Protein backbone atom coordinates (compact mmCIF):
# COMPACT_ATOMS: atom_id res chain seq x y z
CA UNK A 1 0.00 0.00 0.00
CA UNK A 2 2.80 2.44 0.89
CA UNK A 3 4.59 1.59 -2.35
CA UNK A 4 1.44 2.29 -4.33
CA UNK A 5 1.05 5.65 -2.56
CA UNK A 6 4.65 6.52 -3.42
CA UNK A 7 4.12 5.72 -7.11
CA UNK A 8 0.85 7.65 -7.12
CA UNK A 9 2.58 10.66 -5.58
CA UNK A 10 5.39 10.48 -8.12
CA UNK A 11 2.92 10.27 -10.98
CA UNK A 12 0.95 13.23 -9.65
CA UNK A 13 4.12 15.27 -9.28
CA UNK A 14 5.19 14.38 -12.81
CA UNK A 15 1.85 15.60 -14.12
CA UNK A 16 1.71 18.79 -12.06
CA UNK A 17 5.28 20.00 -12.62
CA UNK A 18 5.20 20.49 -16.43
CA UNK A 19 1.78 22.12 -16.33
CA UNK A 20 2.92 24.48 -13.61
CA UNK A 21 6.06 25.40 -15.51
CA UNK A 22 4.10 26.27 -18.63
CA UNK A 23 1.40 28.20 -16.81
CA UNK A 24 3.89 30.22 -14.81
CA UNK A 25 6.21 30.87 -17.74
CA UNK A 26 3.65 32.66 -19.89
CA UNK A 27 1.76 35.59 -18.41
CA UNK A 28 -1.94 34.73 -18.44
CA UNK A 29 -5.08 36.60 -17.52
CA UNK A 30 -6.70 35.92 -14.15
CA UNK A 31 -9.60 34.10 -15.79
CA UNK A 32 -8.47 31.11 -17.82
CA UNK A 33 -9.54 31.34 -21.42
CA UNK A 34 -9.23 28.81 -24.17
CA UNK A 35 -8.25 30.71 -27.25
CA UNK A 36 -9.27 29.30 -30.57
CA UNK A 37 -6.41 28.95 -33.02
CA UNK A 38 -6.06 31.90 -35.39
CA UNK A 39 -7.10 31.08 -38.93
CA UNK A 40 -4.57 31.03 -41.80
CA UNK A 41 -2.91 32.87 -43.41
CA UNK A 42 -0.80 34.72 -40.90
CA UNK A 43 0.51 38.15 -41.80
CA UNK A 44 4.19 39.01 -41.56
CA UNK A 45 3.41 41.49 -38.77
CA UNK A 46 1.52 38.80 -36.85
CA UNK A 47 4.49 36.43 -37.15
CA UNK A 48 6.85 39.23 -36.08
CA UNK A 49 4.68 39.99 -33.04
CA UNK A 50 4.76 36.32 -32.05
CA UNK A 51 8.53 36.15 -32.42
CA UNK A 52 8.96 39.30 -30.35
CA UNK A 53 6.92 37.74 -27.53
CA UNK A 54 9.06 34.60 -27.69
CA UNK A 55 12.19 36.72 -27.41
CA UNK A 56 10.87 39.05 -24.69
CA UNK A 57 9.65 36.15 -22.55
CA UNK A 58 12.96 34.31 -22.80
CA UNK A 59 11.56 31.31 -24.62
CA UNK A 60 14.03 31.64 -27.50
CA UNK A 61 16.88 31.92 -24.98
CA UNK A 62 16.00 28.46 -23.69
CA UNK A 63 16.56 27.09 -27.19
CA UNK A 64 20.12 28.51 -27.13
CA UNK A 65 20.73 26.90 -23.74
CA UNK A 66 20.59 23.46 -25.35
CA UNK A 67 23.80 24.13 -27.28
CA UNK A 68 25.43 25.83 -24.29
CA UNK A 69 24.64 22.86 -22.04
CA UNK A 70 25.86 20.42 -24.70
CA UNK A 71 29.12 22.37 -25.08
CA UNK A 72 29.70 22.71 -21.32
CA UNK A 73 28.78 19.10 -20.49
CA UNK A 74 30.90 17.72 -23.32
CA UNK A 75 33.83 19.89 -22.32
CA UNK A 76 33.54 18.80 -18.69
CA UNK A 77 33.33 15.13 -19.62
CA UNK A 78 36.27 15.29 -22.02
CA UNK A 79 38.51 17.32 -19.72
CA UNK A 80 37.87 14.78 -16.98
CA UNK A 81 38.34 11.62 -19.02
CA UNK A 82 40.39 12.61 -22.10
CA UNK A 83 42.17 15.95 -21.54
CA UNK A 84 44.39 15.37 -24.59
CA UNK A 85 41.29 15.84 -26.78
CA UNK A 86 40.50 19.34 -25.48
CA UNK A 87 41.93 21.27 -28.45
CA UNK A 88 40.06 19.12 -30.97
CA UNK A 89 36.93 19.27 -28.85
CA UNK A 90 36.89 23.08 -28.92
CA UNK A 91 37.40 23.10 -32.69
CA UNK A 92 34.67 20.54 -33.34
CA UNK A 93 32.21 22.29 -31.01
CA UNK A 94 32.91 25.58 -32.84
CA UNK A 95 32.33 23.74 -36.13
CA UNK A 96 28.96 22.46 -34.84
CA UNK A 97 27.73 25.88 -33.68
CA UNK A 98 26.28 26.95 -37.09
CA UNK A 99 24.42 23.62 -37.31
CA UNK A 100 23.06 24.12 -33.80
CA UNK A 101 22.07 27.68 -34.72
CA UNK A 102 20.13 26.37 -37.73
CA UNK A 103 18.29 23.89 -35.55
CA UNK A 104 17.59 26.63 -33.00
CA UNK A 105 16.13 28.80 -35.76
CA UNK A 106 13.95 25.87 -36.91
CA UNK A 107 12.41 25.44 -33.45
CA UNK A 108 12.07 29.21 -33.08
CA UNK A 109 10.11 29.36 -36.34
CA UNK A 110 7.90 26.49 -35.21
CA UNK A 111 7.28 28.07 -31.81
CA UNK A 112 6.61 31.43 -33.47
CA UNK A 113 3.93 29.88 -35.63
CA UNK A 114 2.35 28.15 -32.64
CA UNK A 115 2.13 31.46 -30.76
CA UNK A 116 0.85 33.29 -33.84
CA UNK A 117 -1.89 30.71 -34.31
CA UNK A 118 -2.87 30.74 -30.62
CA UNK A 119 -2.85 34.50 -30.02
CA UNK A 120 -4.21 37.32 -32.11
CA UNK A 121 -1.74 39.89 -33.33
CA UNK A 122 -3.32 42.45 -30.99
CA UNK A 123 -2.89 40.09 -28.02
CA UNK A 124 0.75 39.50 -28.90
CA UNK A 125 1.43 43.21 -29.13
CA UNK A 126 -0.21 43.74 -25.74
CA UNK A 127 1.88 40.93 -24.22
CA UNK A 128 5.01 42.52 -25.69
CA UNK A 129 4.09 45.88 -24.17
CA UNK A 130 3.81 44.18 -20.78
CA UNK A 131 7.19 42.46 -21.07
CA UNK A 132 8.86 45.71 -22.19
CA UNK A 133 7.34 47.59 -19.21
CA UNK A 134 9.24 47.96 -15.92
CA UNK A 135 6.95 45.45 -14.18
CA UNK A 136 7.30 43.00 -17.09
CA UNK A 137 11.09 43.29 -16.93
CA UNK A 138 10.98 42.81 -13.17
CA UNK A 139 8.79 39.74 -13.69
CA UNK A 140 11.35 38.35 -16.13
CA UNK A 141 14.26 39.00 -13.79
CA UNK A 142 12.53 37.39 -10.79
CA UNK A 143 10.56 34.60 -12.48
CA UNK A 144 13.19 31.87 -12.34
CA UNK A 145 14.03 32.49 -8.70
CA UNK A 146 10.34 32.58 -7.78
CA UNK A 147 9.71 29.35 -9.72
CA UNK A 148 12.58 27.63 -7.92
CA UNK A 149 11.00 28.59 -4.59
CA UNK A 150 7.58 27.38 -5.76
CA UNK A 151 9.06 24.06 -6.87
CA UNK A 152 10.57 23.64 -3.40
CA UNK A 153 7.07 24.04 -2.00
CA UNK A 154 5.56 21.84 -4.68
CA UNK A 155 7.58 18.71 -3.95
CA UNK A 156 6.39 18.09 -0.37
CA UNK A 157 2.92 19.48 -1.16
CA UNK A 158 2.53 17.08 -4.08
CA UNK A 159 3.56 14.09 -1.97
CA UNK A 160 1.34 15.10 0.97
CA UNK A 161 -1.64 15.82 -1.25
CA UNK A 162 -1.26 12.57 -3.18
CA UNK A 163 -0.99 10.59 0.05
CA UNK A 164 -4.01 12.41 1.52
CA UNK A 165 -6.08 11.75 -1.60
CA UNK A 166 -5.07 8.11 -1.74
CA UNK A 167 -5.92 7.63 1.95
CA UNK A 168 -9.32 9.26 1.39
CA UNK A 169 -9.82 7.13 -1.73
CA UNK A 170 -9.01 3.96 0.22
CA UNK A 171 -11.36 5.02 3.03
CA UNK A 172 -14.23 5.63 0.60
CA UNK A 173 -13.57 2.35 -1.19
CA UNK A 174 -13.64 0.49 2.16
CA UNK A 175 -17.06 2.04 2.83
CA UNK A 176 -18.19 0.43 -0.42
CA UNK A 177 -16.81 -2.96 0.58
CA UNK A 178 -13.47 -2.86 -1.23
CA UNK A 179 -10.17 -3.46 0.54
CA UNK A 180 -7.08 -2.18 -1.21
The answer, yes or no, to whether residue 101 has pLDDT greater than 80, is: yes
pLDDT tens, residue by residue, 109-124: 999 999 999 999 999 9
Q: Is 25 in a helix, a strand, or coil?
A: helix
pTM of the model: 0.64
- Nearest CA to 136 out of 54, 36, 69, 56 is that of 56
- Greatest C-alpha distance within the chain: 70
Per-residue DSSP letters for 137-164? HHHHHHHHHHHHHHHHHHHHHHHHHHHH
Q: What is the chain's alpha carbon radius of gyration, rounded to the nearest angstrom?
A: 23
Average pLDDT over residues 13-30: 42
Phi, psi of 35, rounded to the nearest 5 degrees: -85, 135
pLDDT of residue 9: 44
pLDDT tens, residue by residue, 70-95: 999 999 999 999 999 999 999 999 99
Amino acid sequence: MAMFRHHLAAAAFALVLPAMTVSMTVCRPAVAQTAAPVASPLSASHIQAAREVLELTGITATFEQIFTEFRDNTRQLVTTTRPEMLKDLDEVVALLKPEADKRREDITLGATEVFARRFTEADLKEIAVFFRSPVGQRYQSLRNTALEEVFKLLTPWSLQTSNFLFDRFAEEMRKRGHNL
